[in-house]
Amino acid sequence: MKEIQNSEKSKIRYDYLKIRDRLEPTLRYAYSNIILSKIKKLKEYQNSGTVMFYLSYGSEVITDVMINEVLSDDKEVAVPVIQNPGDGIMTAVKINKLEDCFDKVYGIRQPEFNEDEVVLKQDIDLIFVPGIVFDTTGYRVGYGKGYYDRWLEGTDISKRIGLAFEVQLVDKIPNGKYDLPVGKIITEKRIIDVSKIYKK
């Protein structure tokens, strides 16, 4: 069963990465700015003090403008750092400016690891999560290395927000016991609140 799931995920990953890559750069930029405007209207964002963003890579929703905007709003920004590629461990580290993120792991920008700048996950108010494809129940398919699902364990679903273009949405993707859904998905067209599905 697990092998079937992995095979399905690999195909979904391949197909939707191609779909996302076909979006014109000018459209990705415009859509990312629309997504930013939606983020800024969220009460959760307005009430937040510390926000975690991924550093956009390839054809992902662009977070550079978002990070600069959040920093200008006098909020703290944390980003992922991987110290030892392959060990599955990700750490959140505070940055003061995008220019601090000049290292690359798996081709993705990150700042140098600094123990003094580590931010504990319980101290982060909002976590913006990347993905190649999301479904309407909040599950996602990423690049397959599992860093985010491991790190997100123990965080409240209401803090986890997926950022995606509308073309990255599907009705359902396979998920396993270690996969964690996001509570909201924001695209250039809508905000999908799926957290109520998981409220007991």
Mean pLDDT of 33-61: 97
| Model confidence at 186: pLDDT above 80 | yes
CATH 3.40.50.10420 is right for the domain spanning 2-198: yes
| Longest alpha-carbon distance in the chain | 48
- Look at residue 5 in the predicted model and tell me its pLDDT: 59
Tell me the pLDDT band of 92, cut-offs 50, 70 and 90.
very high
| Model confidence at 20: pLDDT above 50 | yes
| Residue with the two structure tokens 């779909």 | 19
- Look at residue 3 in the predicted model and tell me its pLDDT: 45
Tell me the pLDDT band of 200, cut-offs 50, 70 and 90.
low
Residue 123 near residue 166 (C-beta atoms within 8 A): no
CA distances from 157 to 21, 49, 122, 129 (A): 28, 18, 12, 12
| Residue with the two structure tokens 């995008």 | 98
Mean pLDDT of 107-135: 96
* Cα angle value 179/115/45 (rounded, 5°): 55
What residues contact 143, with CB distance under 8 A and at least 6 apart?
A: 13, 106, 132
- Look at residue 144 in the predicted model and tell me its pLDDT: 79
